[in-house]
Structure 1
Amino acid sequence: MKNPSRAIGAAAVTALIPVLSLFSSAIVALVWLRMGPAQGAKVLLAAAIPGVYYWLSASSPDVLLAVIGAAVLAEILRNNQGWGRALLVGTLAAALVAITVKWLDDDLQTQIIGVLLDQVDLVERYDLNTFDQQQLAITLGWLFNGVITAVQLLMLIASLLLARWWQSVLYNPGGFQFEFHAIRLPLWSSVCLPLVLILVASGQTWLLSAVPVLLVPHLIAGIALVHGVFAIKKYNSFWLGLLYVLLFLAQPYMSLLLVLIALADSLIDIRHRLAPPPSTPPSLKKDDDDGEA
């Protein structure tokens, strides 16, 4: 942050190494949050060069999309539009990518689906004919596309959280904790996920790619809600550690539970209901002779 050329170099180098691309997006977001679009655009341009290289050479636009997405979401936070809007903008963009961009080539996708079908023995168990197998393969392909996009969205949000935490440590100690505990999605967003599930169940299976993506903001909001409730109730941090252990060991079930909690929070504002009532100042007692002549 003291030297713009160091930020540019760090963003470019970390973007070149796929496993470090999260830090490249975080550096772009940090500079954008603190110094604005003028300086942030320079760092974004440096980080985008490796992203363009991977896109052209390996048909992998994920690095480029990550650094651009980090800049866009950082601009939303910089304008004080809140984490809820940043999460939803990122989710809507990622859902569009999941529906329109195919991450796996046909041969690789066919191999993965074939191995999966052999492992669970679906063809023999349910006596699937050729047409049913083709439809199942198409459905699984959409689901895989959505899962891959959801993972990339999680990485993007993680980079933004990291950048905001860096900014808080450097310039506003304690500010990140307050922001993270207050993350809550608006009421209208709680309708989108059930609506898409209804459309998928009614035969619009092409929307299946969007389902894993739509789970991501609710998962983040659910984790933030648990942190906020623990802070309000002053629970031991051991239980937070246990939450992450369970999230790792029982991932599908815990993720679903956190998503459901986030949906409920959008409706009833759990933090507001659990927060202690504001303390009232003691009433002033009037003297017995107050008001007498």
Structure 2
Amino acid sequence: MRFLAEFVMKSRSRAIGSAVVAAFIPVLSLLSGAILALVWLRMGRREGLLVLFWVSLPGFYYLFAQNSPDVLLSLLATALLAELLRRTQSWPQLLLSGVALAGMVAIGFQWLPNEIQDEFIRLLINEGGLVNYAELSSADQERLTVMMGLLLNGVITAVQLLLIYVSLFLARWWQATLYNPGGFQEEFHSLRMPLWYSGALLAALLMVSFGVQVLLPLLPVLVVPLLISGLSLVHGIVAIKQYNSFWLGMLYVLLLFALPYLSVLLVLIAMADSLMNFRHRLAPPPPPSHDGDGEA
């Protein structure tokens, strides 16, 4: 991965060409955003806008040819958040800004066409045996369908937001690797969401439980920063305690096989950390100062 960062930073044409090619290939679109963010963070807004102009062409192609706006929206959001990170150098502020953008998308935009969404929900309800198990009436099924549609839209938005964050983290890691070794590790290990954010998530959950369905698409989006904060906490504790990096590898392997359960655990740990600040509590005490105390 370092080789790719070195390659794209050697010239403007390499950066633009690599980003455009990656954007045209769905499985590599994450790299396209990372290249754009790397240029933006290192070279500034002018060079970043130039890369954004060219890399937006695949986004417009997918928008008009396949009615798929996700590539274009992801690139635009990546550029906005890269500019914010360049100005503020604050990951919590970046994560909060990303949630604000994604929240508006989750509420105001539907990712799947109605017929595809309805068919997908119908399969979940009928083929999954939910109707027989819960003995739902037709009215209950209709309400459940609406709720699942809102939640599904929020989940898709949350996945898109997570991929944008991954692109930005990758770009920042590239930048640190090439120009500031160790800088990204320090930033990531100290990432911690404020206490009020955990309270906002709990308040949203409470309001949804009382029937405020308009907030339902926001719940998956609100969870994403806490999931990242939980991963940051684990990385930070491993570094503080100098544990073997094997345990980090095991964590990500478990995420592949037990994502829903482990994600909930990471989110709960991050919420507790916003109150307790575990990294501060686990950090070794500073060495005693010898400023001449007791000397004649």
TM-score range, shorter chain: over 0.9
Matched, 1:11 2:27: no
Aligned twin of 1:129:
137
What is aligned with 1:245? 253
Unpaired segments of 5 or more residues in structure 1? Answer: none
Match among 83, 102, 108 for residue 94 of structure 1: 102
**Residue by residue, what CA displacement relative to the aligned partner does 1:30-69 show, whole Å, maximum 9, x if unpaired?**
0000011011000011111111221122221111111111
CA 1:281–1:55 in structure 2 vs 1: closer, same or farther (change >3 Å)?
same
Matches within 5 A, 1:50-199: 50-199=58-207
1:283 deviation in Å?
Answer: 5.3
Structure 1 segment 204-215 matched on structure 2, within 5 A: 204-215=212-223
Structure 2: how far apart are the matches of 1:225 and 1:183?
8
Distance 2:81 2:127 in 1: 40
After TM superposition, the score normalised by the length of structure 2 is 0.93
Unmatched tracts of structure 2, length 5 or more: 1-8
**Letter of the aligned partner of 1:247 in structure 2?**
L
Letter in 1 for 2:289: P
Report how far residue 282 of structure 1 moved: 3.4
Q: CA deviation at 1:119?
A: 2.5
Question: Shift of the alpha carbon at 1:84?
Answer: 0.5
1:2 corresponds to which of 6, 10, 14: 10
Specify whether residues 285 and 185 from structure 1 end up closer, same or farther in structure 2 by C-alpha distance, changes over 3 A only: closer
Q: Take 2:132 and 2:278, find their aligned partners in 1: how far apart are those partners? A: 48
What RMSD in Å do the two structures reach over aligned CA positions? 1.4
Task: Quote how far apart the aligned CAs of 1:286 are.
Answer: 6.5
- Aligned pair 1:281/2:289, yes or no? yes
Instruction: Write the deviation string for residues 187-243 of structure 1: whole angstroms up to 9, x where unpaired.
Output: 221111111111110101121111111111000000001100110111111221221
Letter in 1 for 2:20: A
Task: Tell me the CA shift for residue 2 of structure 1.
Answer: 2.0
- Secondary structure of 2:217 counterpart: helix
Identity of aligned residues (%): 55
